[in-house]
Structure formats: structure tokens, C-alpha cells
Amino acid sequence: MSQKHPVDPEDPIIAALIRIKAAQIARSKAGPTVSREDIAQDLVVDLLVRRQKYNPALANPLAFARMIIDRAVGNIGRALRARKRHPPALPEESMESCIDRRQEEADAERDLVIDVREATAQLPDELQDVAELRSTGTVVEVARKLGLSRATVHKRITRMRKPFARKGLEIYLQNPPDTSESNRVVT
């Protein structure tokens, strides 16, 4: 049968000391992000790790436990203050969630490209020309290349919206073209 270690976190006096110190840290330094139970658990772990260094010839078990707990409290307090001064730039996430989110974004982008190609393929030739040029250039550039006025290009873009809306791409068509008088081409 194994003998109980003289520095035992289950000892009523040591357990009470841990609870009191954890409550003090939780009230003063931790804020709402760290619970008292988490701090108490950290203190117990620190005591269990360091109790191997206990020498009965140098101190009684309670004095040794108090010294270990006080040092652990200081370390936890410094860590919490450092976290307040330098909060993490991004929320902590596991690598799996980052990969999954990136994969989801890549899949959504791929699906969008397919939907745009299908909607563009259903357009008449005159609208396909506008769609192709508009994907890489401005309305002014499209008008110049096709020899059309900007108003005509805007009308064709408006006609192109229906097939895109039928494909469920209306969210990408939120901003209608500017057909105000100040945007007209003077020829």
C-alpha cells in the first residue's frame, strides 16, 4: 500500500488555501475569461508537479505548499496581466477548423465560378461579349472595344442580370449600374 505524500492537495488546509487563492485571482486579475475552478486546478497541478522537491528537513508540508501556491499565484497573475496587455490578434482556433473554413471558402468560390459560367453561356452573343469584356475591364473600356455608348453597355448589363438572378447570383448584383446624367458619354 502506497504512503500518502505529506504535501497533498486534498489536505483540508491546503485545499482551503488553494480555493482562497483561486478566488482572489479570479476577483482581481482574471476578469470574466477565467473561472475560479480553472485557476484552482492550475494551482493543484503546479503543487503536484513541484511536491517532488519537498524536503521534510527544510520545511513543514504546509509551509512548502504555501510557498509553491504563492509562486504559482504570482505566475498566473503575470500571465493574465500579459494577456490583457497583448491580447491575441486572432481568436485561438484549432488547425482543423482553419483548414475546414479554407476548404469551405474554396468550394464556395469554385461553385460561384461554375454558376457564373453557366449563366454566361445562356446569354445571347451580344451579351456574352459584354460579359467577357466586363469581367476584366470597366464600362468605358467595354464601350470603346465594342464601339458602343456607355448607356448601351449599361442596358446590356441590365439585361444580363436576369439569367444571373435565375441562377441565384442576385447577391452579386447588388449594385446597379450608375446611369445618372453625370455618367453619360458625350459624343
Question: Domains in the chain, start-ordered, CATH in brackets?
Answer: 12-85 (no CATH), 96-175 (1.10.10)
Write the DSSP symbol of residue 5.
P
Whole-number Cα distances in Å, 14 to 25, 35, 52, 102, 110: 17, 20, 16, 48, 60
The confidence score (pLDDT) of residue 38 equals: 86
Whether pTM > 0.85 for this model: the answer is no
pLDDT digits (tens, 9 = 90+) for 97-142: 556 777 777 787 888 778 778 888 888 888 888 888 887 888 899 8
Per DSSP, 89 falls in state S
Cα dihedral value 150, 153, 154, 155, nearest 10: 120
Q: How far apart are CA 73 and CA 64, in angstroms?
A: 14
CB 148, CB 139: distance < 8 Å = no
Q: By CB neighbour count within 10 A (0-12 exposed, 13-18 middle, 19+ buried), where does 65 fall? A: buried
Position 2 scores a pLDDT of 46
Collapsing DSSP states into helix, strand and coil, what is residue 147? coil
Rounded Cα gap, residues 110 and 114, in angstroms: 6
Are 138 and 124 in contact by the 8 Å Cβ rule? The answer is no
Angle at 94 between CA 80 and CA 42, to 5 degrees: 35
pLDDT digits (tens, 9 = 90+) for 55-94: 888 888 888 889 999 998 888 888 877 777 776 665 555 5
